[in-house]
DNA sequence: TAATAATTATGCTATATAGCACTTTAAACG
DNA sequence: CGTTTAAAGTGCTATATAGCATAATTATTA
């Protein structure tokens, strides 16, 4: 008999082992029963259980009994949620789109008295330390972080945005990228454009694929053949916008308009055109995607697709709150609409291009 | 005798009142003494005290006694710090400068296993709830939030950035705005500019004042008289850059160069000049301040002052960590240097303006 | 006066006991 | 068989008591 370890700690450890060995699955024996079985006083049992309740391993329902806490539904709420973004995203949180997403999420969470922590993929011990602070996570989803998201889901409720997760049990809020790109093509065709270049985003995700598919579908809808030479593979960076223009201008017949799968690439394309002495939109029209803050501030103001960032944030947070509170979700997957905002980088196709 | 309120809760409230009324300053009477004084059993006293200890109001030193917890020194660390920014800042966290600051702070804190929560001025109960989650706060300081910062300081360690706090016991990391502006003037003078306009920031803070003072000092240093008509009062927004250009172009003799107290105003100025058919830098040179990400991406790339944002973030966080750990600070106030980055919006003054 | 021993103070552990209010189950009654 | 009553089960509150180990204070002794 080890007299240096208090008995209540022995009881705590005994209960921990019973749970770990699945001898206690959900409901503990009553306190008086435990006292009889283990041969300790009732008050000692109560003290041990009280500590495990404080620790979050157990919870009590008065008059009913004591239960093993399910981490995701019974944990004491921290009042803090996390926003996860892959650390390989260029510019991270200082990139225009993601800083707007984060700002919108922060506002949505603050309205409900929640705090928001931003985190990226990190080592395991830092991750676990961070997750202990969180009631749930909203994550921008890309295929390359699916494993990571599963890891998050094992610990806390998760909602994904931008792309749906492969695991369809994870709720998602995404954008209808396809229809938005069709709308851009429609608009350019209404301006008389027939050679429309496209700088893709990354096609390793639905966002990238759907923006490209929307471009192609829009062309077909307007009776324009899809020409592979009018497609440049981009990666969402300013630099690939620059490279895209280099490529298009090397064609025998350059496009009269260029759609870019995001605004940063559109900025790069415009920069390069200006550098080469070409006018936007007089010589070539440019359309972006995202409507980042700067889009309306450059000269000329960028024609782009408006993304309802505040709505995405609010929607995702509402879904996460339902998960945290154990309430049912009405819809597990929501796709919000985006729409074209015509500004100064798009105009009717120049006359000499029509006749060419 | 109210039989619906448990006695241990009555004891908890009694102790709370004693502390609030300063009848207990530091050390509580012994548990047995309290039991005798209040007429409850020793075990009831212990239970009440145990709860207050769990709550963080008290702490116990075995064999010595029970003490009132000093919030700043005895609290269990949460591993989370806050970044506070006045909610009236235009664009909030999605504005280029602050999103870069936040990103840099997040990286600096993550390196030490800390999490970062962004918060703005908010109602009292949300503030207290948020502060409970924090080990300390880094705050962008403006005169109008001095009171708020004092409130923060009463609860957690605080470090300020951008402007020093009036309360000089609060450590600060600021930028040498004065010398940076002198450098801009020097540079413009080396390009032959003699009429240099200045769009100020807000002069309700040292940042705004020092950028203006640096402009004036730079002029005097280069033997140029300071002309009040060449100064336009701005407010750091794109719109006031636009208005500044309107004002300068209304002068009989417009300036050949315009310095702006931040990049957003520079973007506005450029936009307006382009709108009016003027060329940058051919007709008017423009210099910004901050070197936000977009500065190098617009056409032409913006000449601006590079601000060592990563260094500010790391420095501020290191100071805060010392405060949290109770370590002495080497320097309480640090001013970091900024430097001019010449790009495409500045050039030699045009010939017709020199002769005019 | 200094050193040593005894006493006191302190929070901690542990047991025993006797209810209370509420919920669920079983037994009794019509 | 349905309804009512009683019993059992459950966590909760409250008190009393008797130590334990450690530190500080007081008393005693050399």
Q: Which of B114, B117, B87 is nearest to B102 (CA)?
A: B117
Determine contact: B205 vs chain A, CB below 8 A: no
Mean pLDDT for chain B overall: 87
Closest-approach residue (CA) in chain B for A272: B299
Instruction: Give the position of tokens 């082992």.
Output: A17
**3 state SS of A285:** strand
B21 vs B138, higher pLDDT: B138
A70 vs B318, higher pLDDT: B318
Percentage helix, strand, coil for chain B under 3-state DSSP, each rounded to 5: 45, 15, 40
Number of domains in chain B: 3
| B91/A293 CB distance under 8 A | yes
| Residues forming a β-bridge with A58 | A68
In this complex, the answer to whether residue B147 has its CB under 7 A from any atom of chain D, a nucleic strand, is no
Does residue B85 share a domain with residue B63? Answer: no
Measured to protein CB atoms, the chain C nucleotides within 7 Å are: 9-17, 21-24
By Cβ distance, the residue of A113, A294, A297 closest to B129 is A113
Q: Which nucleotide is nearest to A45 (CA to C1')?
A: C14
Does residue B230 share a domain with residue B278? Answer: yes
| Chain A residues whose beta carbon lies within 8 Å of the beta carbon of residue B110 | 119-120, 122, 126
Are A242 and A269 in contact by the 8 Å Cβ rule? The answer is yes
**Per-residue model confidence (pLDDT) at position B62:** 84
Measure the CA–CA gap between B296 and B274, rounded to whole angstroms.
18
**Per-residue model confidence (pLDDT) at position B2:** 43
**Per-residue model confidence (pLDDT) at position A196:** 95
**Per-residue model confidence (pLDDT) at position B351:** 67
Measure the CA–CA gap between A312 and B85, rounded to whole angstroms.
24
Does residue A236 share a domain with residue A199? Answer: yes
Please report, in tens digits, the pLDDT of each residue of chain A (356 residues total): 345 788 999 999 899 888 888 888 888 999 998 998 899 999 999 999 998 888 778 888 888 889 888 755 545 678 899 999 887 777 778 788 888 899 999 989 988 888 999 988 776 667 777 887 888 999 998 878 888 888 788 778 899 998 888 888 889 999 999 999 999 999 999 999 999 999 998 877 788 889 999 999 999 999 999 999 999 999 888 889 999 999 999 999 999 999 999 998 999 999 889 888 898 999 999 999 999 888 888 878 999 999 999 999 999 999 998 888 767 787 888 889 999 999 999 999 876 655 44
| Distance, CA of B39 to C1' of C17, in Å | 20
CATH code of the domain covering residue B348: 3.40.50.2300
Q: Which nucleotide is nearest to B32 (CA to C1')?
A: C10
**Per-residue model confidence (pLDDT) at position B147:** 81
Does residue B185 share a domain with residue B50? Answer: no
Confidence of residue B1 (pLDDT cuts 50, 70, 90): very low
In this complex, the answer to whether residue B42 has its CB under 7 A from any atom of chain D, a nucleic strand, is yes
In a domain, B162, yes or no: yes
B196-199 vs B339-341, strand pairing mode: unpaired
Per DSSP, the residues of A124-193 read: HHHHHHHHHT-SEEEEE--GGGHHHHHHHHTTS-EEEEES--SSTTS-EEEE-HHHHHHHHHHHHHHTT-
Best of A8, A123, A294, A307 to disrupt the B interface (most B CBs within 10 Å) is: A294
In this complex, the answer to whether residue B28 has its CB under 7 A from any atom of chain C, a nucleic strand, is yes
Are A236 and A203 in contact by the 8 Å Cβ rule? The answer is no
In a domain, A1, yes or no: no
In a domain, A333, yes or no: no
For residues B137-144, give the mean pLDDT: 87
In a domain, B1, yes or no: no
pLDDT of B19 above 70: yes
In a domain, B293, yes or no: yes
Percentage helix, strand, coil for chain A under 3-state DSSP, each rounded to 5: 45, 15, 40
In this complex, the answer to whether residue A31 has its CB under 7 A from any atom of chain D, a nucleic strand, is yes
**Per-residue model confidence (pLDDT) at position B138:** 95
User: CA distances (Å), B296 to each of A250, B187, B306, in order?
Assistant: 25, 19, 11
**Per-residue model confidence (pLDDT) at position B49:** 93
- Residue A142 Rama label (left phi>0; alpha psi -120 to 50; beta): beta
Determine contact: B79 vs chain A, CB below 8 A: yes
B81 vs B73, higher pLDDT: B81
In a domain, A331, yes or no: no
**pLDDT tens digits, B204-217:** 778 888 999 999 99
For residues B338-355, give the mean pLDDT: 82
Q: Which domain holds residue A92?
A: 80-173+314-325
**Per-residue model confidence (pLDDT) at position B353:** 58
Peptide bond into A281 cis (omega under 30): yes
In a domain, B200, yes or no: yes
Per DSSP, the residues of B113-166 read: T-EEEEE-S--HHHHHHHHHT-SEEEEE--GGGHHHHHHHHTTS-EEEEES--S
Does residue A186 share a domain with residue A296? Answer: yes
In this complex, the answer to whether residue B34 has its CB under 7 A from any atom of chain D, a nucleic strand, is no
Q: Which nucleotide is nearest to B64 (CA to C1')?
A: C10
**Per-residue model confidence (pLDDT) at position A123:** 67
| Distance, CA of A85 to C1' of D6, in Å | 62
**Could you identify the residue whose CA is nearest to the C1' atom of nucleotide C23?**
A63
In a domain, B96, yes or no: yes
In this complex, the answer to whether residue A90 has its CB under 7 A from any atom of chain C, a nucleic strand, is no
* A98-102, B85-89, B172-176, B281-285: least confidently modelled range: B85-89
Determine contact: A95 vs chain B, CB below 8 A: yes
For residues B56-61, give the mean pLDDT: 84
Does residue B189 share a domain with residue B152? Answer: no
| Residues forming a β-bridge with B231 | B198
Instruction: Give the position of tokens 């109210």.
Output: B2
A-contacting residues in B 113-132 (Cβ below 8 Å): 113, 115-120, 122, 126, 129-130
Per DSSP, the residues of A304-335 read: EEE--HHHHHHHHHHHHHHHHHTPPPS-SEEE
| Chain A residues whose beta carbon lies within 8 Å of the beta carbon of residue B80 | 80, 117, 133
Interface pTM, i.e. ipTM: 0.62
For residues B96-107, give the mean pLDDT: 89
A and B: number of Cβ contacts within 8 A: 106
Does residue A190 share a domain with residue A155? Answer: no
Does residue A39 share a domain with residue A12? Answer: yes
Does residue B198 share a domain with residue B167? Answer: no
Does residue A269 share a domain with residue A227? Answer: yes
CATH code of the domain covering residue A35: 1.10.10.10
Does residue A344 share a domain with residue A225? Answer: yes
**pLDDT tens digits, B216-267:** 999 999 999 999 999 999 988 888 999 999 999 999 999 999 999 999 899 9
Measure the CA–CA gap between B102 and A157, rounded to whole angstroms.
26
Tokens in use for A71? 């981490």
| B106/A95 CB distance under 8 A | no
In this complex, the answer to whether residue A64 has its CB under 7 A from any atom of chain D, a nucleic strand, is yes
Å from A356 to nearest chain B CA?
Answer: 29
Does residue A237 share a domain with residue A345? Answer: yes
Confidence of residue B352 (pLDDT cuts 50, 70, 90): low
Q: Which nucleotide is nearest to A5 (CA to C1')?
A: C13
């Amino acid at each position: 008999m080890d007299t240096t370890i208090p008995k209540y700690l022995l009881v705590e450890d005994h209960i921990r082992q019973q749970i770990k060995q699945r001898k206690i699955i959900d409901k503990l024996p009553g306190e008086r029963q435990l006292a009889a079985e283990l041969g300790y006083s009732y008050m000692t049992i109560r003290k041990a259980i009280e500590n495990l309740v404080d620790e979050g391993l157990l919870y009590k329902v008065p008059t009913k009994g004591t239960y093993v806490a399910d981490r995701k539904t019974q944990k004491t709420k921290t009042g803090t949620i996390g926003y996860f973004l892959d650390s390989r995203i260029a510019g991270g949180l200082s990139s225009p789109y993601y800083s707007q997403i984060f700002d919108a999420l922060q506002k949505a969470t603050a309205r409900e008295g929640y705090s928001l922590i931003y985190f990226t993929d990190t080592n395991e011990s830092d991750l676990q330390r961070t997750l202990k602070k969180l009631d749930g996570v909203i994550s921008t989803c890309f295929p390359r972080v699916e494993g990571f998201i599963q890891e998050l889901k094992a610990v806390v409720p998760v909602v994904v945005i931008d792309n749906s997760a492969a695991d369809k049990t994870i709720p998602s809020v995404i954008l209808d990228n396809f229809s938005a790109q069709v709308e851009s093509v429609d608009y350019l065709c209404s301006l008389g454009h027939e050679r429309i270049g496209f700088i893709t985003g990354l096609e390793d995700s639905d966002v990238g694929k759907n923006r490209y598919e929307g471009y192609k579908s829009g062309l077909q809808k307007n009776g324009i053949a899809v020409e592979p030479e009018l497609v440049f593979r981009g990666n969402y960076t300013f630099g690939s916008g620059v490279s895209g223009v280099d490529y298009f201008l090397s064609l025998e017949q350059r496009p009269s308009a260029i759609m870019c799968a995001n605004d940063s690439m559109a900025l790069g394309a415009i920069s390069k055109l200006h550098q080469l002495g070409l006018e936007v939109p007089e010589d070539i029209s440019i359309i972006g995607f995202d409507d980042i803050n700067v889009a309306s501030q450059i000269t000329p103001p960028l024609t782009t697709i408006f993304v309802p960032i505040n709505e995405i944030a609010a929607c995702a947070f509402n879904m996460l709150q339902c998960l945290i509170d154990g309430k049912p979700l009405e819809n597990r997957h929501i796709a919000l609409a985006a729409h074209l905002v015509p500004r100064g980088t798009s105009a009717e196709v120049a006359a000499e291009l029509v006749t060419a």
